[in-house]
């Protein structure tokens, strides 16, 4: 068994694991050639059934030839909370960290321990005198539950990384954000997230609950029917679903809704950061595999739409599916091939 055994994995890059709600993905960069990748349907809830999920993952990684036990885990999207926090201008003695943590705890009603990452926002046009920071937070208890379950399978989680900063950093590294405004649309299986970026920095994020393709399909299907089964019956892959079928129509509806939300987010950001007009919509998530979804978003936002494929950062030639964005970006950053 390769997993958990130190010798064969010595010198190997960490395995990046993205335990999404619709699919679980793993990527491991290699010194030469294409990275190891695998993707399988999420059979268990990564949080509620952490042990089952971790055992399934360990088996899949082993069978797919992944080596070593080091893991970089993409923070499960359901566990991270985004906040925009106004803080006083940085000066000596101002406890910015404490203010941010207190505000995050208050806004999200978090009582126990939690971890935050934050980045400063560019100065907005409405000069109120206050500075702002964007925050992504994760609660310790559920995060530790996932990490410990992986450790019980012999995997060592070395890093836990939030999705949005990974995607925005990869967009900057690929040079596709420029100095203007863009929107990032993360289309998840259950929920979706729309962010406004100024010069590649996320300045605002809106969570759209129940707007994911899986959730929309589940609503459209009869009771008891499974959204994944619907995709399976229409060709098995989102890229090849039947034109005009239920999946295709649902995807079109989701793309339209996300496009209009992205338009609203960009308008909000334009008011806050005057002089910036939307340049492009960056897309991430499985939805964008559905033919025509990308074009519908472009039409809604009135700007070019582009699926974020950071494979180039790893030197990969294969056009990995849009759902691999965060995992591939993390693999590139974790191995140092992208800065």
**Footprint on residues 241-260 left by other proteins (CB under 8 A):** none
In the complex with other proteins, which residue's Cβ is closer, 214 or 325? 325
Binding characters for other proteins, 52-91, by CB under 8 A (x = yes): -----------------------x----x-----------
CB of 15 closer than 8 Å to CB of 71: yes
* Pair of tokens at residue 153: 């399978």
* Pair of tokens at residue 143: 């995060």
Q: What span, in angstroms and rounded, lies between the C-alpha atoms of 330 and 219?
A: 33
Q: How far is the CB of 140 from other proteins (least distance, A)?
A: 4
User: Could you say which of 162, 214, 285, 310 contacts other proteins (CB under 8 A)?
Assistant: 162
Four-point Cα dihedral 34, 35, 36, 41, nearest 10? -110
* Pair of tokens at residue 78: 């359901």
Answer yes or no whether residue 184 interacts with other proteins by CB under 8 A. no
CB of 327 closer than 8 Å to CB of 71: no
**Footprint on residues 108-127 left by other proteins (CB under 8 A):** 113, 115-117, 119
* Pair of tokens at residue 12: 């190997």
Find, among 183, 180, 182, 178, the residue nearest to 193 by Cα: 183
Q: What span, in angstroms and rounded, lies between the C-alpha atoms of 292 and 303?
A: 15
Provide the 10 A C-beta neighbour count for residue 25: 23
User: Could you say which of 55, 60, 110, 144 contacts other proteins (CB under 8 A)?
Assistant: 144
Q: What span, in angstroms and rounded, lies between the C-alpha atoms of 18 and 186?
A: 14
Answer yes or no whether residue 158 interacts with other proteins by CB under 8 A. yes
Answer yes or no whether residue 266 interacts with other proteins by CB under 8 A. no
Per CB under 8 A, the segment of 2-10, 58-66, 142-150, 174-182 that binds other proteins is 142-150
Answer yes or no whether residue 152 interacts with other proteins by CB under 8 A. no
> What 3-state class would DSSP assign to 178?
coil
Per CB under 8 A, the segment of 91-99, 153-161, 196-204, 217-225 that binds other proteins is 153-161
Per CB under 8 A, the segment of 43-51, 159-167, 187-195, 277-285 that binds other proteins is 159-167
Answer yes or no whether residue 138 interacts with other proteins by CB under 8 A. yes
CB of 284 closer than 8 Å to CB of 311: no
Applying CB under 8 A, which residues contact other proteins?
75, 80, 113, 115-117, 119, 136, 138, 140, 143-144, 147, 157-162, 165-166, 169, 330, 333-334, 336, 338-339
């Amino acid at each position: 068994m390769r997993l958990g055994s130190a010798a064969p994995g010595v010198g190997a890059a960490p395995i990046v694991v993205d335990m999404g709600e619709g699919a679980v993905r793993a990527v491991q960069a290699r010194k030469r050639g294409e990275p190891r990748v695998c993707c399988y349907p999420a059979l268990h809830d990564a949080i509620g059934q952490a042990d089952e999920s971790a055992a399934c993952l360990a088996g899949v990684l082993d069978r797919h030839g992944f080596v070593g036990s080091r893991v970089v885990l993409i923070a499960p999207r359901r566990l991270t909370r985004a906040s925009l926090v106004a803080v006083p201008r940085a000066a000596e003695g101002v406890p910015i960290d404490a203010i941010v943590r207190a505000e995050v705890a208050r806004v999200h009603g978090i009582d126990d321990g939690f971890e935050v990452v934050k980045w400063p926002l560019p100065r907005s046009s409405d000069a109120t005198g206050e500075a702002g920071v964007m925050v992504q937070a994760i609660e310790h208890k559920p995060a530790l539950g996932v990490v410990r379950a992986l450790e019980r399978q012999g995997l060592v989680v070395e890093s836990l990384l939030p999705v949005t900063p990974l995607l925005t950093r990869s967009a900057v590294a690929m040079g596709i954000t420029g100095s203007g405004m863009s929107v990032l649309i993360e289309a998840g299986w259950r929920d979706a997230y729309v962010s406004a970026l100024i010069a590649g920095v996320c300045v605002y994020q809106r969570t759209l609950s129940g707007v994911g393709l899986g959730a929309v399909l589940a609503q459209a299907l009869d009771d008891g029917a499974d959204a994944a089964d619907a995709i399976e019956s229409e060709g098995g892959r989102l890229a090849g679903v039947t034109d005009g079928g239920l999946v295709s129509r649902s995807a079109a509806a989701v793309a339209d809704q996300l496009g209009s939300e992205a338009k609203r987010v960009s308008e909000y950001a334009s008011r806050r950061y005057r002089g910036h007009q939307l340049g492009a919509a960056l897309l991430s998530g499985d939805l964008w595999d559905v033919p025509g979804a990308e074009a519908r978003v472009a039409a809604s936002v009135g700007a070019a739409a582009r699926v974020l494929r950071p494979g180039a950062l790893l030197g990969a030639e294969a056009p990995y599916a849009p759902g691999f964005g965060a995992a591939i970006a993390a693999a590139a950053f974790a191995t140092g091939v992208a800065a």
